[in-house]
Amino acid sequence: MTKCEIAVKLYFEQELPFVIYSKPNATKMIAVLQKNSNIYKPSHAASGFVFAPFKGEASILISEKHAEVFVETIDFLQNPKPFTPNASFSEKDKSSFEAMVTVAVTAIHSKALEKVVLSRKELVKTKEIQPYELFKRLKSTYPDAFCYVWYHPKVGCWAGATPERFLKKSKQTIETVSLAGTQLFHENTVVNWSDKEIEEQQIVTSYIQSGLQNYCSEVHISKTYTQKAGNLLHLKSDIKGELLSDADFIKVIQKLHPTPAVCGVPKDKALEFIDKTEGYDRTYYTGYLGEWLKDYEHEIPNSSDLFVNLRCMKMEKNEAELFMGCGITKDSTPENEFWETVNKSQTMKRILAD
């Protein structure tokens, strides 16, 4: 057993906070393990690992000041087990979600919204999986994603493999992405994107570009391209900017989060619509998480690397709560959007499969 594996097992048994994670295509895994169960908040002065909600003030920092940190080479990668997609769902969930999409499309056509992201959750029965084993499954199955298992006794255990970076800061350079549009990956098939998907991704790009204008001296946006994430494809643009010398990084985060990729446009109206329509509290789903003011692999201070909490689940002893969403525009078809959530649910169902 490695130091990471031993430490994660010990901290979990003692009900102490920790996170174990690995960045996309990285060869290192990192564990930050807090020696008390206090809840700390991110600030300009405290480094660690941040776990932030979709909305509100419930951000939590696993504080480096009160933690031990391990950085180890990953030596456990193996070919994922064969997986038969589990497309089971209840007709009640399907009809409920499609009705929600119909209401959203009507609101968009009436100009009350331009775009909104709607989501649902699904409870899946599972055998108990220890955190380190869960992390191994995630990293072996999705090596090109940001994989993590995060635990705090006062919040619970979350795990995921997200394809989307929210915001990276190194010195005065910041990087983010515009990610939207989803379709299933099929080998040897030419990828064609619909006008609806292209428009959905462009809304995200324009929002981020506008949000960064007051904080950056220049912003560069790449050409849009197709990115594979597990068994799914997305439209993506890379965005890079140079922060002004007096720019406040926390204010940049507050300006951008939540982006239209997980919320909608206009932001305030989309948030209000989600609150009234979804029927549940997302908590940390579609929030963000990652290194706060420290690159732990390279020991670089004042460097942050944050990811959107997608393709994730909240773990209980014998069940997992899965979260899936999709972007709704004027051209959305309710049944198609529901099936997009079914496709996205396979990312975590594959991890839970025996």
pLDDT tens column, 61-72? 999 999 999 999
Q: What is the pLDDT of residue 105?
A: 97
Each residue's pLDDT, cut to its tens digit, for the chain (354 residues) gives 899 999 999 999 999 999 999 999 999 999 999 999 999 999 999 999 999 999 998 999 999 999 999 999 999 887 777 777 777 888 999 999 999 999 999 999 999 999 999 999 999 999 999 999 999 999 999 999 999 999 999 999 999 999 999 999 999 999 999 998 888 898 878 899 999 999 999 999 999 999 999 999 999 999 999 999 888 899 999 999 999 999 999 999 999 999 999 999 999 999 999 999 999 999 999 999 999 999 999 999 999 999 999 999 999 989 999 999 999 999 999 999 999 999 999 999 999 987
- R_g over Cα of the chain: 20
Q: What is the pLDDT of residue 231?
A: 82
Q: What is the pLDDT of residue 121?
A: 96
Q: How far apart are the C-alpha atoms of 47 and 301, rounded to whole Å?
A: 8
User: By C-alpha distance, which of 11, 3, 56, 58 is closest to 37?
Assistant: 11
Q: What is the pLDDT of residue 153?
A: 97
Asked if 289 and 42 count as a contact pair (C-beta separation under 8 A), the reply is: no
274 C-beta neighbours (distance < 10 Å), count: 25
Q: What is the pLDDT of residue 84?
A: 78
Q: How far apart are the C-alpha atoms of 231 and 213, rounded to whole Å?
A: 35
Asked if 342 and 326 count as a contact pair (C-beta separation under 8 A), the reply is: no
Q: What is the pLDDT of residue 83?
A: 79
What does the H/E/C string look like for 40-68? ECCCCCCCEEEEECCCCCCCEEEEHHHEE
Q: What is the pLDDT of residue 186?
A: 87
User: For 156, left (φ over 0), alpha (ψ -120 to 50), or beta?
Assistant: left
pTM: 0.94
Asked if 172 and 322 count as a contact pair (C-beta separation under 8 A), the reply is: no
Within the chain, residue ranges assigned H as helices are 3-13, 91-109, 131-141, 195-212, 249-256, 267-277, 334-352
| Residue-wise pLDDT tens digits, 107-134 | 999 999 999 999 999 999 999 999 999 9
User: By C-alpha distance, which of 328, 296, 336 is closest to 118?
Assistant: 328
What percentage of the chain's residues is helix, strand, coil (to nearest 5)? 30, 35, 35
Query: Which tokens sit at 168?
Result: 């990276």
Q: What is the pLDDT of residue 81?
A: 74
